[in-house]
Structure 1
Amino acid sequence: MIINSLGTLVRKLLLMKPRVVFVLGGPGAGKGTQCVNIVKKYGYTHLSAGDLLRAERSKEGTKYGELIDSYIKEGNIVPVEITIDLIKRAMDETMAEDATRNKFLIDGFPRNTDNLDGWNKKMDNDADVKFVLFFDCSNEICIERCLERGKVSGRTDDNIKSLQKRIQTYMQSTKPIIEQYEKEGKVRRVDGAKSVDEVFDEVQKIFDAEN
């Protein structure tokens, strides 16, 4: 009986799919800060597409490093195949350590229709997208926050030239993704201009309703 029960549990764990929440919003909208809070309270694993790309860029001898570096410096979107490969690798590594850790916040992805098409093509059968958490914040506030962050972050893209390009890319490429998910009823909108605590109050209401 015990052996049969263990066998059933193992099969269930092997069949568990990653449950994904996409976290979107302009640069400086508060995505990273709130993801930290969500991880603490709800047990998600936070994967930042930008952080994964920057980490890969900083490693010596990787096949993607120089290519990623050139895209980030220009404020452009890295080819989807690279980003999805890094995201999938991170999810696989997390679940290999503990199969029950199958809830993921994917921050800053998908950023354009190419991203979304690539995700649907490669990951549609391997992960379930539960909803999109969208931090709605004005461009002016986003730029102001990023410039302030840039004083201590050391990020090469937290400067006015890169920020203007990133905002333009976001408006042209990512906004349509949010609108598309909105038509499917999958967008959960949060006012990102409020204080950190006020924003998290709204976030908690969303996750409490979804869980």
Structure 2
Amino acid sequence: MSEESQDAGPRSSADAAPPHPAPRVRLLSAIAAAVLVLDVVTKVLAVAQLEDREPVEILGGLVYLQLVRNPGAAFSLATGYTWVLTIVAIGVVVVIVRVARRLRSTGWAVALGLVLGGALGNLVDRLFRAPGPLHGHVVDVVSLLAPDGRVWPVFNLADSSIVSGGVLLVLLALLGRELDGTRAPRRADRREREEEATGE
């Protein structure tokens, strides 16, 4: 062993090369694709089976299945701004695709995959469903506790995926988990380092 190797000593985990982003990008892509496929399938089935039917009660009234065509955002918000929501959805997809190049965290990959799949699911409706491109109405299917969204707005699998991914992103941020797989230093740690740097 050379003197240079002996002087260098063992490398710490902080000096180790960060994990390659490719596996995380594949995980993100797989989750997004699965959400998109399941969302499209459930909407196709909903249109085929629930069109012009009364809400179907399941689980003793805990859940109702019914077909609602929603021109607004998730949970029927921002009705009347369909074209704006379409542009926003496209922007979200572009941002996630760009961010994926720096992705090295499994948690972030799961969260972004859920958000991306949900955004794509509803975007497909806005682009290809009536009344036309950029103005298409999103198919919602699930109503909780009562029909017609009287207790909770009618939603679909894409909405659930977006909300779940968003909650996970907030949790990761609160835990200090970074996109690149590192952990942000706590405030107390930062204060100690600043004091050491200033010699206090």
Q: Same fold (TM over 0.5)?
A: no
Which of the pair has more CA radius of gyration?
A: 2
Higher-strand-fraction structure: 1
TM range (shorter): under 0.3
TM-score with structure 2 setting the length: 0.26
